[in-house]
Amino acid sequence: MFENERWQLIDHYISMIQNLNTQSQQIYTTQNEAYVKLSELMQTARTPQVPTWTRIRPPSINHASSRINTHRVNTSMSSRRRLRDPETNRQGEPNEPSHSSHSRGVNSRPHPEPTSGESSRNVTEEQGVDLDEERTRQRMSRTPPIPPPTPRVRTTPTERLTSEMGSNFLFGPSVIGTLGSLGTPSNTSTIPINSNIVGKISIDSLSLLFTLFLSSFLFKRYIVVARKYNLYKGSNDRSSHSGQVYTGAGILLAFVLSTANIVLDTISIFDFNSINIVLTSSVLISLLGFYDDFMEISAFHKYIILTFVIGMNINTGTLNDNIIINLHGFLGIYNIPYWAGLAFTGFVYLAVINAINLMDGIDTYLAVFCSLVFLLFGIIFLNGNNITYALICLLIIASLSVFIRYNVSKTKKLFVGDAGSLFLGFWIAYFLVIRINAMDYDGYYNFFSSKVENLPVLAVAFINIPVLDTLRVMLVRILKRKSPFAADRNHIHHIFIDKGFTHVKTCLLLCMINFLNLSIIFLVEPFNNSLELTLIYIGINLLWFLIFEIIKRK
């Protein structure tokens, strides 16, 4: 039902865009015709023609006494000369010197001598003509020339809208980007990249460099502090390492993220204010893990504190998308009561945090696996134009990349400890919850054709190996009549280490299996409903459960 409504909505938008293209073509044609008409009119007005026979009245002449003969206009120059040389016009002498008939020609005759009234009237008329011509020249010189109309490149409304959506040019085709090609002429120039994209990329690059520098400095200084205050973890029969290793370095991940919040909060494209409760909760959980690294609190007390912090986080009024109250048809379940949603969301947080915490048993496994998960989240957030969450993923990945160098070192080895595993598990759980709850989020649909009811299965498939490992070890402990939270050496990574695999090979193998299962779920998801996809997911995990048990028993 949802697929049909979505395609109907897409068809509706396509028809709207085609109508807008047709209207824009008509407006473009009418505007070009108006420009041509205006250009012709201005060209005509730029060269006025004043006919010589037109009767021109100066301002000082009365309308009744301003009748002019044509031959008087022709004799204006002679009248002007007589006015300029009064000596030649006294005592009745002729105005012009006498010339021989040969010099004047046969048909030449002297001009008639005008009277004094006629002479003054001719002078006034000539001044009026000169004044009018001078005014015309001044008026035309003040009028700026109108340039011819420049050709306009016709763009569709969807092209202009798509040019403003900068992030969609970087990752994946969006719905608007796909519709933008409809109704576009083939000779249309390529849309330039929005300047906002360049700004976001520059800020992300500076943030990455800042995080790498700060993380490298902090991890280096942490070794000095750990040596001074003996912040190390000894080995036991469950450990995969020997000797004393400095632990608790995961607290630096929380410090880096908090510093980035303070430094980058002033930039307008980031919105850390809306997730201050989440940032505070993650720091508190990291402090709890740091305390547990050295003081060894019981699992019961640790989960009580975790439940309190998680409840504070998910029960805030500013985060309406942080409580799962609607599954949108998953296994036929839609709306659920608030108290049930609160309890279910808290269970999801605790389950994910515990699954990620149990991964911290061998070198590089936790850091590499979480880096890949945050990379997928970062791409989805960036494609959905959620820059703040994408930046958080980038900062965590940069910090973990620096930590891997110390985690594999033989002389300066570091562990993140519970401070890091609880911190990373909290953020993974938070991102999974908001993606399960935000069913209409475009970050998924720009990559995958997902059904709404299947999103919970897709979310769990991101961490299917840690979830499988958690369920497996708890089931084995319960069958042996032990506490499901009792520590042992029965994890999947311990199986491969005991068979002779190195830490790096075990890490890469488990990461490959996890994302192989994720790829299979995404491939079969469009063809199955939530019940069928859940059965497929359970079948895949049961198959791997049997494979791991066979490997262990050999």
- Single-letter amino acid, residue 455: L
| The pLDDT value given to residue 320 | 54
Contact criterion met (CB below 8 Å) for 437 and 321: yes
φ, ψ of residue 233 in degrees (nearest 5):
-120, 125
| pLDDT band, residue 327 (cuts 50/70/90) | confident
- Locate tokens 């890490």: which residue? 507
Domain encompassing residue 2: 1-45+118-190
Contact criterion met (CB below 8 Å) for 457 and 534: yes
φ, ψ of residue 441 in degrees (nearest 5):
-70, 130
**Model confidence at 180: pLDDT above 50:** no
Contact criterion met (CB below 8 Å) for 133 and 115: no
Which residues are paired to 233 by β-bridges?
A: 245
Does 113 map to a domain? Answer: no
| The pLDDT value given to residue 434 | 85
Length of the chain: 554
| The pLDDT value given to residue 276 | 87
177 and 250 in a single domain? The answer is no
139 and 200 in a single domain? The answer is no
Instruction: Work out the percent of the chain whose per-residue pLDDT is above 90.
Output: 32
134 and 273 in a single domain? The answer is no
Ramachandran quadrant class, 390 (left: phi over 0; alpha: psi -120 to 50; beta: rest): alpha
167 and 244 in a single domain? The answer is no
According to DSSP, the β-strands at 245-246 and 232-233 are antiparallel
Contact criterion met (CB below 8 Å) for 261 and 279: yes
Nearest Cα neighbor of 512 from 529, 530, 496 is 496
Does 72 map to a domain? Answer: no
Does 496 map to a domain? Answer: yes
| The pLDDT value given to residue 431 | 93
Mean pLDDT is highest, among 81-95, 227-241, 362-376, for 362-376
175 and 206 in a single domain? The answer is no
| pLDDT band, residue 382 (cuts 50/70/90) | confident
SS3 call for 386:
coil
Contact criterion met (CB below 8 Å) for 288 and 255: no
